[in-house]
C-alpha cells in the first residue's frame, strides 16, 4: 500500500514529534487530539523546533513554511477519514487506546494501516480489537522524535507482510532507521536497557561501588554516553519500577525482579530529576 497521507492521534510529547517528522518528509498530516489546547501547544512546539532548525541553517524558511502548511489540526477523528496510515500516540492507557482504535477503525477506509506508538501494551491485543489485525502494527518512536533515529516496528501475531513493508517505507522516507521486533514485553530496546539499569541499582544496593564509580565505569568501560544511574534519574525511578514490574509479571521470571533499592527510593519519593533527588541531587541551589 502506498502511504500518501498520515494521521496522528494524540498531540502530546510524542505525537507532535511524529507529526513534525512526517510533515518535514513531505506527507500531509492530520493531527487529532481530544483537547484543542494540546493541538495549539503541539503547533507551537513544532513551530519552535522548526525555527531552531532554520536558525541553525538545517532548514530553509521556505521549507519551514511548507512543513507547517502540511499540518492540519482537528478534535474530531472523522478528519482522519482520508489517511492511508494513522499513528496513535495518545495517553498510555489500554481502555482508552481500545476505544480510540475502535473509532479509527470505523473512520478510515478499508486497507488503511493503523499503528500504535505504545511503549508497553501488546500490539497483538490492540490489533485484535480492530477489524483489520493484518493492517495493524507497532511503530515505536523514541523521545525526542526529531532527534532520535530509531523506530522499532513491532509485528503483532497477525500483522501482514505488506503492512510491515509499508511501515518500513514510511520510516525510511522520514529519514529514520527501522528495526523489526516481534511483539513481546518491552519490545527490544527497553527489554535490554531497563534490566541493565535495574542491575546498576542492584550493584549500588549491594555496595559494589559508589554511584559515581558505577556511572564512570559504564561510560568509560562500555562507551555509554551516560551512566546507568544518571539515566535512571532522567527516566524517572517510578517509571523504571513500573516497567520492571510489567516485565516481572508478564514473563513471570524472577530475573526481572525490581532491585530492592529501586523500590525503596520510589517509596521515599526520590524519583530522579523530576523530584529534585534520585541517585544524584538536583537541588537548583
Residues that bind ligand NAD (CB under 6 A): 9-15, 32-35, 38, 89-92, 96, 100, 117-119, 141, 143
Closest distance of CB 190 from ligand NAD, Å:
9
Q: Residue 7's closest CA among 30, 33, 38?
A: 30
Q: Which of 16, 116, 117, 190 is catalytic?
A: 190
CB 35 within 8 A of CB 16: no
Distance CA(138)–CA(123), nearest Å, equals: 6
Task: Identify which of residues 32 and 214 has a Cβ nearer to ligand NAD in the complex.
Answer: 32
Task: Identify which of residues 118 and 261 has a Cβ nearer to ligand NAD in the complex.
Answer: 118
* Extended beta strands in the chain, E state: 6-9, 29-32, 71-74, 85-88, 113-116, 136-141, 150-155, 177-182
Length, in residues, of the chain: 285
Catalytic-residue membership of 190: yes
CB 133 within 8 A of CB 158: yes
Task: Identify which of residues 197 and 261 has a Cβ nearer to ligand NAD in the complex.
Answer: 197
Dihedrals phi, psi of 151, to nearest 5 degrees: -130, 120
* Distance, CA of 217 to chain centre: 28
Within 174-256, residue ranges assigned H as helices are: 189-205, 211-222, 228-235, 237-251
Catalytic-residue membership of 199: no
Closest distance of CB 2 from ligand NAD, Å:
26
Task: Identify which of residues 205 and 236 has a Cβ nearer to ligand NAD in the complex.
Answer: 236
Closest distance of CB 114 from ligand NAD, Å:
14
**Which residues, 6 or more positions from 104, have their beta carbon under 8 angstroms from its beta carbon?**
7, 9, 77, 80, 86, 88, 114, 130
The closest residue (CB) to ligand NAD is 12
Q: Which of 117, 152, 183, 198 is catalytic?
A: 152
Q: Which of 119, 122, 183, 198 is catalytic?
A: 119
Task: Identify which of residues 41 and 66 has a Cβ nearer to ligand NAD in the complex.
Answer: 41
Catalytic-residue membership of 117: no
Closest distance of CB 91 from ligand NAD, Å:
4
CA-based angle 261:265:271, to the nearest 5?
135
Closest distance of CB 22 from ligand NAD, Å:
15
Which of the residues are catalytic?
A: 119, 140, 152, 190
Amino acid at each position: 500500500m502506498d502511504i500518501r497521507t498520515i494521521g496522528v492521534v494524540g498531540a502530546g510529547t510524542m505525537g507532535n514529534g511524529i507529526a513534525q517528522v512526517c510533515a518535514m518528509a513531505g506527507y500531509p498530516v492530520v493531527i487529532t487530539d481530544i483537547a484543542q489546547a494540546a493541538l495549539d501547544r503541539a503547533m507551537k512546539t513544532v513551530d519552535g523546533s522548526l525555527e531552531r532548525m532554520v536558525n541553525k541553517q538545517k532548514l530553509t524558511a521556505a521549507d519551514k513554511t511548507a512543513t507547517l502548511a502540511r499540518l492540519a489540526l482537528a478534535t474530531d477523528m472523522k478528519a482522519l477519514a482520508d489517511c492511508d496510515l494513522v499513528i496513535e500516540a495518545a495517553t498510555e492507557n489500554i481502555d482508552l487506546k481500545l476505544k480510540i482504535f475502535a473509532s479509527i477503525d470505523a473512520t478510515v477506509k478499508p486497507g488503511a494501516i493503523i499503528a500504535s506508538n505504545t511503549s508497553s501494551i501488546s500490539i497483538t491485543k490492540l490489533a485484535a480489537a480492530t477489524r483489520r489485525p493484518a493492517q495493524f502494527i507497532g511503530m515505536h518512536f523514541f523521545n525526542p522524535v526529531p532527534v532520535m533515529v530509531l523506530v522499532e516496528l513491532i509485528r503483532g501475531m497477525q500483522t501482514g507482510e505488506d503492512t510491515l513493508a509499508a511501515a518500513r517505507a514510511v520510516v525510511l522516507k522520514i529519514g529514520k532507521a527501522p528495526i523489526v521486533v516481534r511483539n513481546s514485553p518491552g519490545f527490544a530496546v527497553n527489554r535490554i536497557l531497563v534490566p541493565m539499569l535495574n542491575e546498576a541499582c542492584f550493584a549500588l544496593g549491594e555496595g559494589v561501588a559508589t554511584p559515581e564509580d558505577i556511572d564512570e565505569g559504564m561510560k568509560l568501560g562500555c562507551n555509554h554516553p551516560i551512566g546507568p544511574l544518571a539515566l535512571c534519574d532522567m527516566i524517572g525511578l517510578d517509571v523504571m519500577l513500573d516497567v520492571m514490574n510489567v516485565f516481572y509479571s508478564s514473563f513471570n521470571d524472577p530475573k526481572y525482579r525490581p532491585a530492592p533499592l529501586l523500590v525503596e527510593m520510589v517509596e521515599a519519593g526520590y524519583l530522579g530529576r523530576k523530584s529534585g533527588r534520585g541517585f544524584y541531587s538536583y537541588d537548583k541551589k
